[in-house]
Amino acid sequence: MNAYDDDDDHERDFDDAGEDSVEAQVWRLLLLINPGDEETALQQFAAYRDAVQAGDEGDPVEVVGRVIDWRSGFYVDAQDPRSLVQALDELAARWSLAIDWDGEPDDEEFFEDTDVAALLAVAGDRLAEFGYVVWAWEPGDGTFAGWITLARDSEPMRELAAAMGIGLRTAGELG
């Protein structure tokens, strides 16, 4: 067995259950939210598997959310726009992008007349200019969660979200 065979086995051992298995869906999701960064997707997939093997009984998307938080996704309180700005700025920096927030987030006054949904829409508009889509959903506990993908991956993302039971929408669709 050579090094190529080892890599091939590592990538296929979760694929044996079929294209529709939860693990296969999680793997596809991680590839979509880590465009051009398969290494991060592999690390996150390993962390996902470890969490599941350790008995994490959460919904697969909840487990993924914990694994990717602030590296490839965000999970913020609906009343905490400051955390959303910080999270999205960090995520955009992965591609050397900066979001123009239509104001200065360092000023306290910036957050007085805005909310998380409005800021998601701004981020979605700005990142769309560079070929990215901000995706989000409301897990139902007064929070927003989501990630960023390439715009060309929008249809596969919608299909995968539907298959996984995620009420995912683009940031602009939240308002």
Q: In whole angstroms, give the CA distance from residue 172 to residue 124.
A: 6
Residue 152, pLDDT score: 98
Residue 19, pLDDT score: 66
Residue 5, pLDDT score: 39
Residues 79 and 142 sit within 8 Å (Cβ to Cβ): yes
Residue 133, pLDDT score: 98
**In which element (H, E) is residue 88 found?**
helix 81-93
Residue 10, pLDDT score: 40
Q: In whole angstroms, give the CA distance from residue 125 to residue 101.
A: 10
Residue 18, pLDDT score: 62
Q: In whole angstroms, give the CA distance from residue 35 to residue 174.
A: 23
pLDDT tens digits, residue range 64-105? 999 998 899 999 999 999 999 999 999 999 999 999 999 999
137 strand-pairing partners: 145
What residue ranges do the domains of the chain occupy? 3-173
pLDDT tens digits, residue range 97-145? 999 999 999 998 999 989 999 999 999 999 999 999 999 999 888 999 9
Strands 169-170 and 132-137, bridge-based pairing: antiparallel
Beta strand extents in the chain (DSSP E only): 73-77, 132-137, 143-150, 169-170
